[in-house]
Amino acid sequence: MKTVMLTAEQTDEAAAIIRNGGLVAVPTETVYGLAADALNGKAVAKIFQAKGRPMDNPLIVHIAELSQIDMLVSEFPEKARILAEKFWGGPLTVILPKSDQVPVEVSGGLDTVAVRMPSNPIAREVILKSSPLAAPSANLSGSPSPTNAKHVFDDMNGRIDAIIDGGESDVGVESTVISLAVNPPRLLRPGGITVEQLREAIGEVVIDDAVINPLRSGEKAASPGMKYKHYSPKANVILLKGNGDLFLRYVNSHSGENTAVLSYEEENGKILCECINIGRSDDYKTQARRLFTSLRKADEGGFQTVYAHCPEKQGVGLALYNRMIRAAGFEVIEL
């Protein structure tokens, strides 16, 4: 299959492909999504094939107007209304009991559906011109999520119908996922909307154990995605936990030709091996924006070992920690 590159203005073409049951990679503010018509089960099934994604890992449905949620869910409780009002369009996905119209391919056989309204105007235009879109990240299953059109092309060329080039994703990590199908509400994946913001809006929110810990064997995942290998570059990523001087001393005494460091801006010139600048130490938003690009850069450079700072589990730091701990296969060295 030939993969066509579309500009941000070619949303008519993108919508036509989707209405015909095809696949288009669409920019969103979190990461690029691989989109199909969410109400067309056959089209949605192609997403799993293109990505190599296990069929039991459900997809997020993207809407552009609040009225579109009616056809997707069987209940829209007060807490969902509050969260939608406060955080949509934006990087927050809400899980609710699903309607009969949601195909089994979208829900992965669960009786719930994940819904989000992106803020990205290109994504919203495509949705308005076609339908609600089922869209996971537009990467090959297991590899880091794409934050620009080139990342998508590198993974998906020949496997999908088209890619819209909408520049760099702003948030850089996937949406926050909260389940409102359980009581109290449960954070299944941290993202650009923080758990602190969620608690301020709706009160108690439990953080699912799998957000920061590996699943124990035999344990059932609240979010099926959490049981799969994720965000992993080819390089061996190692998280280092310790203050600035200890970090510098460790990487400088362990650096080699095949080693790269995801470094803070303040560390420029202080590290002896290849540095990939991930942002200022106190700027988790920039670090999130650059994380997946940095992991891809490390692979393009052929590095075998990548050292990175272990983020604090607060604010957007929790989203970084969740991705980096998986990229590192849960390997952390305490300095």
State the residues that interact with ligand AMP by CB under 6 A: 57-60, 95, 107, 110, 112-114, 136-137, 174, 177, 188-189, 223-226
Q: Taking CB within 5 to 8 Å according to partner kind, which of Mg ion, ligand AMP, none is near residue 169?
A: none
CB of 107 to ligand AMP, least distance (A): 6
Give whichever of 40 and 93 is closer to ligand AMP, judged by the CB atom: 93
- Residue 81 CB partners (closer than 8 Å, separation 6+): none
Q: Report the alpha-carbon distance of residue 18 to residue 37 in Å, rounded.
A: 6
Sign of CA dihedral 314, 294, 54, 65: positive
Residues that bind Mg ion (CB under 5 A): 137
Query: What distance in Å separates the CA atoms of residue 53 and residue 140, rounded to the nearest whole number?
Result: 8
Q: Please, what is the minimum distance in Å from the beta carbon of residue 288 to ligand AMP? A: 14
* Partner in contact with 69, chosen from ligand AMP, Mg ion, none, beta carbon below 5 to 8 Å by kind: none
Contact 83, 198 (CB under 8 A): yes
Cα separation of 125 and 295, whole Å? Answer: 30
CB of 320 to ligand AMP, least distance (A): 16
Provide φ and ψ at 320, rounded to 5°.
-65, -45
* Residue 194 binding: pick among Mg ion, ligand AMP, none (C-beta 5-8 Å cut-off by kind): none
From Mg ion, ligand AMP, none, interface partner of 223 (C-beta below 5 to 8 A by class): ligand AMP
**Cis amide linkage into residue 317, ω under 30° from 0:** no
Residue 95, binding choice from Mg ion, ligand AMP, none, Cβ under 5 to 8 Å by partner class: ligand AMP
Q: Which does 133 bind (CB under 5 to 8 A by kind): ligand AMP, Mg ion, none?
A: none
- Nearest approach in angstroms of CB 137 to Mg ion is 3
State how far the Cα of 313 lies from the Cα of 195, in Å rounded to an integer: 10
| Residue with Cβ nearer ligand AMP (97 or 242) | 97
Beta bridge partner(s), residue 59 = none
Which has the closest alpha carbon to 199: 178, 222, 213, 171? 178
The residue (of 13 and 29) whose beta carbon lies closer to ligand AMP is 29
Helix (H) or strand (E) holding 91: none
Distance in Å, CB of 139 to ligand AMP, minimum: 8
Give the whole-angstrom CA distance, residue 146 versus residue 44.
19
Nearest CB to Mg ion, comparing residues 228 and 250: 228
What's the min distance (Å) between Cβ of 200 and ligand AMP? Answer: 23
Q: Which residue sits closest to ligand AMP, CB atoms considered?
A: 225
